[in-house]
Each structure stands twice: as C-alpha cells, then as structure tokens.
Amino acid sequence: MNYWSYSQKNYTLKQSQTGIYQLQDRYNQNVYIVKVREYGCDIETPAKQLVYQVKVQKGQTDLRDAGKNLIFSTQSQLSPIAFACFGFDILTRKQQAALAYAVNLAVA
C-alpha cells in the first residue's frame, strides 16, 4: 500500500501507516480523522465525535451526517475516501472537489 499526503493551502490530508486518514491544519493539528470501514468510512473530529459517514451500496455512494440525513450522493466511481473530502466542512466546495479529485487519483 502506498502512503501519501496531499496539501492544499493551509491543510494537508495524510494517510497513516495504520490506514487512517488525517486532515491536518498548517500546525499539524488534526481537523478531521477518516477511518475506513467495511461499508465506506467515518469522518470524526479529533475528539472522536462522528460528523459524517460515507456509505457505498448498490452502486451509489452517500455522504450522511451523524443523524443519518443524506447530504450528498453520487453514482460515479469515486473512492469512499475521495468522497469523504466533501465532508470536510472547513474547506470550500471548490477545495473539497479539488481534494477529492487528487485523492481519487492517488488511491486508484
């Protein structure tokens, strides 16, 4: 498995050797932690509070908030970790899309 990091302005998304992804600010402080799960992935705060879940089922990928409300959905072939970038509320939608594109290329 390749371990990587991708930087965009003041934030860096890193993959650790344990498979956990961390969105960090310019001070190397975690902003979000993404844990890969069997169904997709969980997006948590550093305090381990669930913020979003990415679930893949029947050719559809959904981003849902902690209350299970649908936020965003696609039938494209984005990887779950790439789709999780749309749950990084600290980024603008353009930054989320650019990061998702770069991550999808990196994990493909």
Q: What is the pLDDT of residues 8-29, one digit of tens each?
A: 568 889 988 888 999 999 899 9
Count Cβ atoms below 10 Å from residue 44 Cβ, excluding itself: 19
Give the pLDDT of residue 77. 87
In sequence order, the β-bridge partners of residue 15 are 21
Residue carrying the six token digits 């305090």: 47
Copy the structure tokens of residue 94: 């353009």
Query: SS3 for 32?
Result: strand
pTM of the model: 0.88
pLDDT digits 0-9 by tens, 28-86: 999 999 999 999 999 999 999 999 999 999 999 999 999 999 999 999 989 999 999 99
What is the C-alpha to C-alpha distance for residues 11 and 32, in angstroms, rounded to an integer?
A: 11
What is the C-alpha to C-alpha distance for residues 32 and 12, in angstroms, rounded to an integer?
A: 11
Copy the structure tokens of residue 17: 């050797």
Beta-carbon contacts of residue 57 (< 8 Å; ≥ 6 apart): 39
Assess whether pLDDT exceeds 80 at residue 5. Answer: no
Long-range contacts of 42-46 (CB under 8 A, 24+ apart): 43/84, 43/87, 43/88
